């Protein structure tokens, strides 16, 4: 199994089978386009395009009508907010020059492809399959490669959102960063019955870095998976073997040759940071392995960016490898510039210390191996995954949910590559939404979101709390992972849901705390007490009794009234309750976390919502620490 196949949606998933693998659900992907020739978009065995589909297959440069099929049923592209100069390096069509959109689309609904591996080099080998492999895809290209980066124009995104409503999509997936208020006020899309899934952002582990925090969106954090790529660095004594992480593989043409140059001993040359281009140019790094120590003071840029710069500098200077110190070794995206050029290994501070304090001035880097299974500690919240609380909407607990987003294998052009980011986590959730939409076509977007959040897991396979990777690893809290790690099978039968009618969201600028969200955030517990109300709807057995189980945030008393709710045959399906919070100490505090879980007497359903509370004495010196 490769993790283009969703780790939480294996072929044995009850939800997957019940939903007929997403048969005929239409998922709109607003991204950088698609590479339609990828085997992931093969439509063999598909029936006719659903009659409710009203979209088009827009032709353009290197993209004609035959590039749409019964799998990719529609495609549009938008470029009005991109200059003619910038479009010179782009396809003037829905064809994907960047690869990002192809990767996300195949993660959502890619057809099974056997023998896939990272760049064909053997790493992460297995079956690449989307989470809802029988779903249909509607592609909206709004992002373009410009000036060495990627631009996703506001006007293009708005146009795509409006088109998707008319086209008839069931789910919208946007692996995009936060933008202007006008772009992401997507309430009209949700009002049309479309669940909208966004990535949380890649600016973690900094607090208040989460984006796309509007309450009607499903905002997704990223976790690691049970797979790593251990890479052995052997020092010159031949005995000392150190292990880092890399995506270094020996390409097939090299393996077929008789040269052992890839495995030669190389001189080590140490630098601090490796991001000083002028210094590196002045040194003779040709043929050497650069050993990059972390700077003494924290950089303004994340380790992945520094790693990318270091690897590019190494290539430009003729180096034969990079050993890079990073406080977290769960992200290897900085290795993209190394691919096909030289081995780039991420190691921790202890490993760097051992290298620099050894008597060896040479080393050899072996190709990475693939390790999969329970011996790999996972899931963990990825270091890069953006954290709450939301700076814009502190009364809306974000992110909502976490899903696999580290080293995800999916399509890019005619190959398959490993990418990491909340952009990779978002399509996992979009796929689950598509499956839930198939099983429960009458559920509202709020009900689907509630089912996902309230059934999520907060523990790993050993029953221990999920950890969050950061500068220092810690137990994950609601600002790291929302409700927890997505649990698709449980989401199919949540028991209770927290529903919201679209018109209720109009209180966003008034009393957002009154929204019936599947979470509770109290950013200003300033007075004697704060009381919030929630209403649950029974979607399980018509006769059921649920009892409240409270995990109060530290330093806060938490009371639920009534503590028991019962549903009877022929009675109402809704029950309203109130939660009251009282600060035990009058102190200026940071956030504390807890939960409220409704357990049914039949022990079939556990409906948990996360809780975050901050006590405040003076609101102008609030503390966001946790």
pLDDT greater than 60 at residue 621: no
Distance set, CA 305 to CA 206, 283, 311, 445, 503 (Å): 15, 22, 10, 36, 42
pLDDT greater than 70 at residue 276: yes
Predicted confidence at residue 586, as pLDDT, reads 79
> In the structure, what pLDDT confidence band is assigned to residue 623 with cuts at 50, 70 and 90?
low
Q: Are 194 and 445 in contact (CB under 8 A)?
A: yes
In the numeric block, the tokens 């050497």 are attached to: 288
Domains along the sequence of the chain with CATH: 17-221+377-474 (3.40.50.200), 230-369 (3.50.30.30), 519-615 (2.60.40.2310)
| Torsions phi, psi for 351 (to 5 deg) | -65, -45
Predicted confidence at residue 301, as pLDDT, reads 63
Short-list 193, 201, 198, CA closest to 164: 193
As a whole number of angstroms, the distance between CA 434 and CA 107 comes to 12
Average pLDDT, whole number, for the chain?
90
As a whole number of angstroms, the distance between CA 152 and CA 196 comes to 17
168: helix, strand or coil: coil
Contact partners, residue 352, CB within 8 Å, separation at least 6: 291, 293, 294, 323, 325
pLDDT greater than 70 at residue 422: yes
As a whole number of angstroms, the distance between CA 386 and CA 204 comes to 4
Whether 100 is catalytic is yes
Predicted confidence at residue 249, as pLDDT, reads 87
As a whole number of angstroms, the distance between CA 301 and CA 393 comes to 26
**Among positive and negative, which fits the CA dihedral 394, 8, 330, 427?**
negative
Give the start-end residues of each E strand in 335-461: 344-347, 362-365, 371-372, 380-381, 401-404, 408-412, 415-419
Contact partners, residue 25, CB within 8 Å, separation at least 6: 19, 132, 135, 136, 170, 171, 434, 435, 437, 438
Q: Which of 275-289, 294-308, 572-586 has the lowest mean pLDDT?
A: 294-308
Predicted confidence at residue 87, as pLDDT, reads 86
Residue range 29-40: mean pLDDT, rounded: 98
Whether 154 is catalytic is no
Residue range 317-322: mean pLDDT, rounded: 91
Helix 445-454 with 422-439: angle, nearest 10 deg: 110
pLDDT greater than 90 at residue 296: no
In the numeric block, the tokens 């609904």 are attached to: 109
Q: Which of 13-17, 58-62, 189-193, 291-295 has the lowest mean pLDDT?
A: 291-295
As a whole number of angstroms, the distance between CA 504 and CA 26 comes to 27
Give the start-end residues of each E strand in 94-253: 113-116, 126-128, 136-141, 143-146, 149-152, 171-174, 195-199, 218-223, 227-228, 230-235, 241-245
CA angle 74, 78, 79 (to 5 degrees): 150
As a whole number of angstroms, the distance between CA 549 and CA 609 comes to 11
The bridge status of strand 136-141 relative to strand 26-31 is parallel
> In the structure, what pLDDT confidence band is assigned to residue 298 with cuts at 50, 70 and 90?
low
pLDDT digits (tens, 9 = 90+) for 199-215: 999 999 999 999 999 99
pTM recorded for the entire structure: 0.94
pLDDT digits (tens, 9 = 90+) for 332-379: 765 666 776 689 999 999 999 999 999 999 999 999 999 999 999 999
Q: Are 619 and 586 in contact (CB under 8 A)?
A: no
Task: Find the catalytic residue in 423, 430, 450, 595.
Answer: 423
Task: Find the catalytic residue in 8, 13, 31, 390.
Answer: 31
Peptide bond connecting 325 to the previous residue in cis, omega within 30 degrees of 0: no
The bridge status of strand 149-152 relative to strand 564-567 is unpaired
Q: Are 370 and 124 in contact (CB under 8 A)?
A: yes
Tokens matching residue 151: 């631009």
Residue range 587-593: mean pLDDT, rounded: 89
> In the structure, what pLDDT confidence band is assigned to residue 1 with cuts at 50, 70 and 90?
very low
Whether 31 is catalytic is yes
> End-to-end alpha-carbon separation of the chain, Å?
37
pLDDT digits (tens, 9 = 90+) for 133-165: 999 999 999 999 887 788 898 899 999 999 999
As a whole number of angstroms, the distance between CA 367 and CA 132 comes to 33
Task: Find the catalytic residue in 32, 100, 333, 430.
Answer: 100
Short-list 547, 540, 548, 544, CA closest to 568: 544
CA 312 to chain centre: 26
Contact partners, residue 571, CB within 8 Å, separation at least 6: none
As a whole number of angstroms, the distance between CA 404 and CA 224 comes to 6
Tell me the sheet residues that pair with 545. Answer: 566
Element (H, E) at 18: helix 14-18
SS3 content of the chain, % helix, strand, coil (to 5): 25, 30, 50
Largest CA distance in the chain: 82
Tell me the sheet residues that pair with 146. Answer: 149
338 vs 324, higher pLDDT: 324
Burial class (CB in 10 A: 0-12, 13-18, 19+), 300: exposed
As a whole number of angstroms, the distance between CA 124 and CA 556 comes to 46
Reduced 3-state DSSP string for 553-583: CCCEEEEEECCEEEECCCCCCEEEEEEEEEE
pLDDT digits (tens, 9 = 90+) for 484-493: 999 999 999 9
CA torsion 515→520→525→531, rounded to 10°? 60
């Amino acid at each position: 199994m490769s993790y283009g196949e969703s780790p939480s949606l294996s072929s044995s998933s009850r939800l997957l089978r019940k939903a007929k693998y997403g048969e005929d659900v239409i998922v709109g992907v607003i991204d950088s386009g698609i590479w339609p020739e990828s085997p992931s978009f093969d439509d063999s065995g598909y029936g006719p395009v659903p009659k409710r589909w009203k979209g088009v297959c827009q032709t353009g440069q290197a993209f004609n009508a035959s590039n749409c099929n019964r799998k990719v049923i529609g495609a549009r592209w938008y470029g009005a907010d991109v200059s003619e100069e910038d479009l010179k390096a782009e396809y003037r069509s829905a064809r994907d020059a960047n690869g990002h959109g192809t990767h996300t689309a195949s993660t959502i609904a890619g057809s099974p492809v056997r023998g896939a591996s990272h760049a064909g080099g053997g790493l992460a080998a297995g079956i690449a399959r989307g989470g809802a492999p029988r779903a249909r895809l509607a592609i909206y290209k709004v992002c373009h490669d410009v000036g060495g980066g990627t631009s996703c124009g506001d006007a293009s995104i708005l146009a795509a959102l409006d088109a998707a409503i008319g086209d008839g999509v069931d789910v919208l997936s946007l692996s995009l960063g936060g933008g202007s208020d006008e772009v992401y006020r997507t309430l009209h899309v949700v009002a049309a019955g479309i669940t909208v899934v966004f990535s949380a952002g890649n600016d973690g582990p900094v607090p208040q870095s989460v984006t796309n925090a509007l309450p009607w969106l499903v905002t997704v954090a990223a976790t690691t998976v049970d797979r790593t790529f251990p890479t052995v660095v052997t020092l010159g004594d031949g005995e000392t073997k150190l292990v880092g992480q890399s995506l270094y593989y020996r390409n097939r043409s090299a393996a077929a040759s008789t040269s052992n140059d890839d495995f030669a001993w190389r001189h080590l040359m140490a630098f601090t940071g490796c991001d000083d281009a002028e210094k590196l140019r002045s040194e003779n790094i040709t043929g050497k392995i650069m050993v990059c120590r972390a700077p003494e003071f924290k950089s303004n840029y994340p380790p992945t960016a520094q790693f990318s710069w270091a690897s590019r500098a190494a290539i430009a200077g003729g180096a034969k490898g990079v050993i890079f110190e990073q406080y977290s070794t769960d992200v290897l995206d900085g290795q993209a510039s190394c691919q096909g050029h030289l081995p780039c290994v991420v190691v921790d501070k202890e490993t760097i210390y051992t290298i620099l304090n050894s008597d060896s001035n040479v080393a050899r880097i072996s190709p990475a191996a693939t390790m999969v299974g329970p011996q790999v500690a996972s899931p963990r919240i990825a270091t890069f995954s953006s954290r709450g609380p939301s700076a814009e909407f502190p009364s809306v607990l974000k992110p909502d949910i976490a899903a696999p987003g580290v080293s995800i294998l999916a399509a890019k052009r005619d190959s398959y590559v490993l990418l990491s980011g909340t952009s990779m986590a978002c399509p996992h959730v979009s796929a689950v939404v598509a499956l839930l939409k198939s099983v429960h076509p009458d559920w509202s977007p709020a009900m689907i979101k509630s089912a996902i959040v309230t059934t999520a897991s907060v523990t790993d396979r050993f029953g221990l709390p999920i950890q969050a990777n950061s500068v220092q690893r810690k137990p994950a809290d609601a600002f790291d992972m929302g409700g927890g790690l997505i649990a698709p099978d449980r989401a199919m039968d949540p028991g209770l849901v927290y529903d919201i009618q679209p018109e209720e969201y109009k209180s966003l600028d008034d009393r957002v705390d009154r929204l019936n969200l599947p979470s509770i955030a109290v950013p200003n517990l300033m007075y004697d007490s704060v009381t919030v109300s929630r209403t649950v709807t029974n979607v399980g057995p018509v006769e059921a009794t649920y009892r409240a189980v409270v995990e109060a945030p530290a330093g806060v008393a938490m009371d639920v009234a009534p503590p028991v709710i019962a549903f009877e045959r022929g009675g109402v399906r809704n029950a309203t309750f109130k939660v009251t919070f009282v600060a035990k100490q009058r102190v200026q505090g940071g956030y504390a976390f807890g939960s409220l879980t409704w357990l049914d007497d039949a022990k079939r359903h556990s409906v948990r919502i996360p809780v975050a509370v901050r006590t405040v004495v003076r609101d102008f010196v609030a503390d966001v620490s946790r």
